[in-house]
Structures are given as structure tokens and as C-alpha cells.
Chains A and B, each alone.
Chain A
Amino acid sequence: MPPRLDELTMARRAASELQPGQVAALGSGLPARVAEVVPNGAAIQLLSDGGALGYSLTGGADSAGGPSLCGPNGLPVALEKGGSVVGMADWAALLRGGHVEVAIVQPARVSAAGDLLGWTTAATPGLFAPGRTVDLAAGGCKVIAMLPHIGSDNSPNIVAESIPVADGRSCVSMVITDIAVIRVEDGVLVLSEVAPGWRFDDIAAMTGAPLSPSGDLKEMAPNLEHLKTERPGKVFPDGPSAITDLQDGATVMIDGFGGPGGMAHHLLVSLRDRGTKGLTIISNTIGIARIVNFGTPAGKLAIDHSILVENGQVAKAIATYPVSPSASRPSTFELAYRRGEVELELVPQGTLAERLRAGGAGIYAFYTPTGAGTLIAEGKESRVIDGKEYILEQALTADFCLIRGHKADTLGNVVYKGTSRNFNAVMAPSARVTIVEVDEVVEAGELAPELIVTPGIYVDRIVIRPEGFSPYE
């Protein structure tokens, strides 16, 4: 038999599957070695559950002296320019929320249906340590399994029969072994690449499930040249150019907190000028700053959601503060609501933040005590858990999210200033397209990685608030 591939060659083959701009979450074992072969400055980001987003192996010592950040195998790693530090809850949310394009795992076994068995040992029947594997298998948009083609007892690691007690169900789409690359296509295993010198028949004989040769079966030749490219740019010249695909009927998250601080005013004005109709707006207030003073200079009006309502663009609001605190000074939205022109879903503030977080973090619904036994509970499931009453609230997502940051780097990493972190940070992960309006854009690596609040993985487009722009008109 020809020689089998070494681990680093397998890692190179897995890395060549990545595309510029993607984020890949790595498990321990063979997948951790992918970090060793990705070229420096490659246009991808690696994610470790050790808390590194955008890392490589070069270095590993931080300014405090001594390694403080580690890869999935526990070994020290260093952040690339534009990398950031994330906690375990963030890691899980990135995966579950569908923000990670590729997850690479090393299971003990893979089935023809794409099921996987995390890992287990004969020495410890019944106890096993799937660790992160379950999260990676459930979370990656594309799951690649790396494993030796056969076990140490010469039994196949790729099996036909379904795995009854699985750590991932129908999740694997590609298997990279030390002799082959196999695609899992609707329960059929297709051999697409062979290690140098290996023939289809030999590989099929070592596979525990029927194998079909691909029409373009070829010899494995990992190539990482395509990763040595510029990342897709995220910086747009201005607000209008960043929202050209925001269509009628879209759901848009846009917020700040009450007053003029912390709202993407330039993007808001751009949206008004675009005239998009039938919008559902998700926000904390739906236009309060315009009627409450909040320090607005004399003779001026604050720019807030009211400008969209006045322009007849809003069909519905999902909000916490839809009305003015003063009955004699109703908000634009309030007047439109009384005229029956807009719909309203009233959401308590904390529940709104939690529903937004759920939307971005892949949590489908949750039980909260807030609102139990009040009008808010009407039409919602109520449930007593551990002696306390809760109501079921659903996740919120949107087509677009317009957020206000202080600074962003070119990868979209964002830091906030004061109150603007309030709803902007929790909204950023929850929309299909997130656009941030900032005061300043800096190069990747200029923001302190430990200070980044919204990692660039959540931010699709960046615009700079025009110089001299006023949040009042």
C-alpha cells in the first residue's frame, strides 16, 4: 500500500477547503493542526474555544508576559491583526447563531448519513468526553470531519449503519482522512480525492460503507494560494451606498437609547432619503428624542425614528418606548398609531434585549419572569419553573441592523463609547446584514483585542459618519 498522509498534509487539505472571508472553528486533535498550515495573513479567521477569534500559532506570549491565550488543544496561540478575545458564551453563540462558516472536528466515527460519534474509549464504557464536538457539529454551516481512515484495530472509522448514540446528527458534509477525501451527499458517500498512489478499490475496501467514485475523482493536491488574498472590503463611502439593497418590507433594527447619543443617525437619514416603505422597525424607543428635549439645541429637532414614521415608511414597530412621557406632546409614532397607520408590538426593555441576544446567539426561545401575570403575558405560554412563573418569549432577528459604534477597524471590529453600547452591541449579531456607523475607521490590529465589544464577524459593512454631521436638524 502507498504511504498514508501525515497530519499536516491532512491539515493542508482541510485548510484548502476554506474560502476568503470565512471563519473556521477548530476542534482539538487533527483540526487544531489546521492553524499550523494556514499562511500568515490569510484572508480567513480561525476560532478557538480557548477564546481566540482570528489567531495563528506564531508567538503566543502577550504583553503581560507569558502565554495567556490558547488554541483548541490548549497550546498557546497569538492573535492575528484584527483578532479578538471572546468568552465561552460568545464562542457558543457564534456557532449556534450560524456565524461560523466551517467547523472542523475529529470524531471517532462517521456514518454514511453524516452522523458522528464524538469520541469514546473502550476503557471507559458509558463515559465519554464530547467536549466541544457537539457544539461544533451542531453549529458550523459546513462541518468537515478529519480522522484516520481506519482505527488502530484496522476497523473502518467510516461506517454504513446509523450511529444510535450520536454526538452530531446528519451534520458532516466532508470527510478528510489519511488516504481520501469523501463527500457526504444525501446519505451517499462519494470519493472525490485520493492520496497519492491510492486507488479507488483499495480505499473502498477500507471503508465500512458503500463508496461511489466521483466523476472527477482526482489525486489530493492541497493548495492554499487562494487564501493569500485581500479580504472582501467592508468599508462603504457613505450611508446611501451601504443600504442600496435594503428593500420595501424589510425588518430593520436601529437603536440608541433615548437621546441623541448612540444612534446611527447618518444611516437613519440615508434610509429616509431612500424612501423604503413598509418597514418593521425593532428598537428601544420609536422616536422619543424628537419630542423630549434631551439637550436638543433651541430651534432644532433631534433625528430619530420619527423621521421614518413622518415619511410614511414604517408599517410596524417592535419597541419598548413607543409613546411620549407627556400626553400633551405625542410622538409621531403615537399619532400614526392612533390613526391606525402602524402596528405595534410592545416589548419590555430587558425582554427586548434578551430576545435580540437570542436571535443572534441561535437561541430559539426562552422563559423569562418579566411580564408574567401582566398584559405582556397575553397570548404567551406561561409556565411555573422551580416555583416561579415565567412566560415564553421568542428570538428576534432582522434583515438589516444599523448600529452606531465609536471606532471600527477594517475587519468590522467595533468599540463603543458610553451609552451607545446599550442596544447596539446586542443587536449587531441578530441581523442578516449589519451596518455600523462610526466616527473613525482604523487599520486591523489598532484596536486592543481585549477591548473589542463586537467582533467583525458580526459586521458586514462600515460607514464613517460624515464630518460635521449633526444629530439634529
Chain B
Amino acid sequence: MLQGKLYGSPQAAVADIPDGSTILVAGYAGYGIAEGLLAALLELGSKDLTIIYRDGPYSDMGLGALPSIEKLVSSGRVTKLISPIPYSPGSGSDIEECWQAGQLEIEIVPQGILVERLRAGGAGIGGVFLPTAIGTRFESGRERRTFPQGEAVLELPLKADYALIKVAEVDTLGNSIYHGSGRNWAPVMAMAARITIAEAERIVEPGELDPEAIISPGIFVNRIVAAT
């Protein structure tokens, strides 16, 4: 079933994700994660994926954040992870094991830098000079320059093929609002991907959402599927 942006199932919504894709996965510490879409991606079997996400499984919190990413990694489908906290060190996660076995590349990016690089990607900015990494291990290999405000490092934009986001409410044009921590990464990731797929708790008709309350305009949301 295909009607406008609406897809009948998570499987249908992710069906064209090819091998080698770069995929943004929104969410924070277990909040606002499109579990249905991730499960469908696992089922689909695409491989050589690069996945950009905020945090991996937190064994000490019992939140079970992103178990699907861990499964994608342990089933050998992920080439690279880009994340501020790819896993909780010492937690014995499969991600840690695969990385130590050399089966996986991991790029750690502090979250404030990562989100700004994604925003730059989404907003057509060619690069931003940020002071954050100055003097830290994250400055290495980057261009440093002096500005009236101080020293800054050039951070380059990040873009992706797909973004998998969770939204609280969406209308059929894709206009989206979030609840609480669900807003955390999704609006920026929705801008930075060529195709953004939203898993929605509630789908409404255009005009039902308060226009002043919409966080992600529908222009950034390409596909919609109901959360189950």
C-alpha cells in the first residue's frame, strides 16, 4: 500500500535501503528510537552500512538502548559507526567485541560537534569553525584558525542517505512534532538525510497540528509509517 508519504509497514518503508548506505538513527539514551524501522532494517539484510547515532547500549542503566544497532553490528552488516558514545566501555557489548576484533571502524565525535556537522549537512553549509575541539584529541588532523573570538577548528558537514526517526505526531504531509527527549536528534537528522523515514505514534490529517508547534516541516520527512 502506498499513498503519498504513507507506507503500510516498516518493511515497506525501508525496502529500498541498499548496501553501502549511510543511515542516521535518531534517539537519546533509549528515548525517541524508531524501533520498528530498525527491526525492519535488520530483517532486510542490507550490509556495508555506516550508522550515525548518539549512544549505544547502556548496560548499567538497563535501558537496552539501540539493541538493534548492536544486532546489526554483530551480524556483520555494519562497516562503520560514527557516534559520541558508541557503547558503554567495559559493558561487554557486541559492538565492543567486533571493534576489538577489527571487524568494525568506529569514529568518535563529541555530540555537540556531531550535531553541528549534521546541521551543516542539512543546511547546505560547507563547514563550520567551532572552538570545541581546540586542545583536545579531537583537534588532531583538522585545520585550526584564529578568529577575533579565539582559536577554532574547521568541522566538515555530514550528510546521509537515510534517517530513521521517531515522532510523536505527524500529519500526512510529514509535518512532525516530538515529545520530550525525542526531539533531541531527530529534527537535525531529518534535515541531513536524503530520505527521512518517520515512525509515528500518531498520524493525523493536514491542518490538525498547530502550525506554530511543528518542529520538523514536512519538507524534511519523506516517508511515514505508524509505530506498532
Pair from one complex: yes
- Chain A positions near chain B (C-beta within 8 angstroms): 49-52, 62, 64, 67-70, 73-75, 85-89, 91-92, 95-96, 115, 119-121, 123-124, 127-135, 137-139, 165-170, 354, 358, 361-369, 383, 385-386, 388, 390, 394-395, 415-417, 421, 450-451
Partner of B90, one of A52, A91, A121, A450: A121
Best-buried of B125, B181, B187 by chain A (most CB within 10 Å): B181
Task: Given A50-B31, A70-B181, check contact A128 B89 (CB 8 Å).
Answer: yes
Find out whether the CB atom of A138 lies under 8 angstroms from the CB atom of B132.
yes
A169 cross-chain contacts in B, Cβ below 8 A:
134-136
Find out whether the CB atom of B136 lies under 8 angstroms from the CB atom of A74.
no
Task: Given A124-B90, A368-B125, check contact A89 B188 (CB 8 Å).
Answer: yes
> How far is the CB of B190 from the nearest CB of chain A, in Å?
11
Which chain B residues numbered 170 to 226 have a C-beta less than 8 Å away from chain A? Answer: 177-188, 210, 212-213, 215
What separation, in Å, do the CA atoms of A362 and B212 have in the docked complex?
A: 27
Partner of A130, one of B54, B88, B110, B215: B110
Partner of A51, one of B86, B127, B152, B183: B183
Partner of B28, one of A49, A75, A137, A368: A49
Query: CB of B131 within 8 A of chain A?
Result: yes
Find out whether the CB atom of A88 lies under 8 angstroms from the CB atom of B212.
no
Find out whether the CB atom of B29 lies under 8 angstroms from the CB atom of A134.
no
A119 cross-chain contacts in B, Cβ below 8 A:
89
Find out whether the CB atom of A395 lies under 8 angstroms from the CB atom of B149.
yes
> How far is the CB of A405 from the nearest CB of chain B, in Å?
12
- Chain B positions near chain A (C-beta within 8 angstroms): 28-31, 54-55, 58, 61, 63, 65, 84-90, 96, 99-100, 106, 108, 110-113, 115-116, 119-120, 123-138, 147, 149-150, 152, 156, 168, 177-188, 210, 212-213, 215
Task: Given A131-B55, A416-B212, check contact A120 B126 (CB 8 Å).
Answer: no
Partner of A70, one of B127, B180, B186: B180
Task: Given A88-B184, A366-B126, A385-B127, check contact A129 B88 (CB 8 Å).
Answer: yes
Find out whether the CB atom of B85 lies under 8 angstroms from the CB atom of A367.
no
Find out whether the CB atom of B130 lies under 8 angstroms from the CB atom of A96.
yes
> How far is the CB of A138 from the nearest CB of chain B, in Å?
4
Find out whether the CB atom of B30 lies under 8 angstroms from the CB atom of A129.
no
B120 cross-chain contacts in A, Cβ below 8 A:
366
Task: Given A121-B89, A129-B87, check contact A167 B111 (CB 8 Å).
Answer: no
B188 cross-chain contacts in A, Cβ below 8 A:
87-89
Find out whether the CB atom of A132 lies under 8 angstroms from the CB atom of B110.
yes
Find out whether the CB atom of A390 lies under 8 angstroms from the CB atom of B152.
no
What separation, in Å, do the CA atoms of A365 and B181 have in the docked complex?
A: 29
A395 cross-chain contacts in B, Cβ below 8 A:
149
Find out whether the CB atom of B112 lies under 8 angstroms from the CB atom of A385.
no
Find out whether the CB atom of A50 lies under 8 angstroms from the CB atom of B89.
no
Task: Given A51-B183, A69-B180, A134-B138, check contact A364 B129 (CB 8 Å).
Answer: yes
Find out whether the CB atom of A96 lies under 8 angstroms from the CB atom of B156.
no
Task: Given A50-B29, A364-B131, check contact A131 B212 (CB 8 Å).
Answer: no
A95 cross-chain contacts in B, Cβ below 8 A:
112
A125: nearest chain-B partner, CB-CB: B100
Please list 12 pairs of residues, one from A and one from B, whose beta carbons are closer than 8 Å in the complex, sorted by A's number.
A50-B31, A74-B28, A85-B183, A89-B116, A96-B132, A124-B90, A364-B149, A364-B152, A366-B120, A368-B124, A385-B126, A451-B210
B184 cross-chain contacts in A, Cβ below 8 A:
49-51, 87-88
Find out whether the CB atom of B136 lies under 8 angstroms from the CB atom of A64.
no
A75 cross-chain contacts in B, Cβ below 8 A:
61
Task: Given A70-B180, A88-B185, check contact A135 B112 (CB 8 Å).
Answer: yes
Find out whether the CB atom of A74 lies under 8 angstroms from the CB atom of B168.
no
Partner of B108, one of A115, A130, A383, A450: A130
A67 cross-chain contacts in B, Cβ below 8 A:
180
Partner of B115, one of A88, A394, A417: A88
B54 cross-chain contacts in A, Cβ below 8 A:
88
B135: nearest chain-A partner, CB-CB: A169
Best-buried of A92, A167, A385, A450 by chain B (most CB within 10 Å): A92
Q: Which 9 A-B pairs have the closest CB atoms?
A: A169-B135, A68-B180, A92-B112, A367-B126, A74-B29, A69-B180, A135-B112, A134-B110, A390-B126
Find out whether the CB atom of A417 lies under 8 angstroms from the CB atom of B29.
no
> How far is the CB of B176 from the nearest CB of chain A, in Å?
12
Starting from the known contacts A135-B110, A364-B131, A365-B147, 15 additional A-B residue pairs (CB-CB under 8 Å) come to A52-B181, A74-B63, A85-B180, A87-B183, A87-B186, A87-B188, A88-B188, A131-B85, A166-B135, A166-B137, A167-B136, A364-B150, A364-B152, A415-B212, A417-B212
What separation, in Å, do the CA atoms of A348 and B132 have in the docked complex?
A: 28
A451: nearest chain-B partner, CB-CB: B213
Best-buried of B125, B138, B168 by chain A (most CB within 10 Å): B125
Task: Given A87-B184, A123-B90, check contact A134 B132 (CB 8 Å).
Answer: yes
Find out whether the CB atom of B213 lies under 8 angstroms from the CB atom of A87.
no
> How far is the CB of A276 from the nearest CB of chain B, in Å?
24
A421 cross-chain contacts in B, Cβ below 8 A:
212
> How far is the CB of B208 from the nearest CB of chain A, in Å?
16
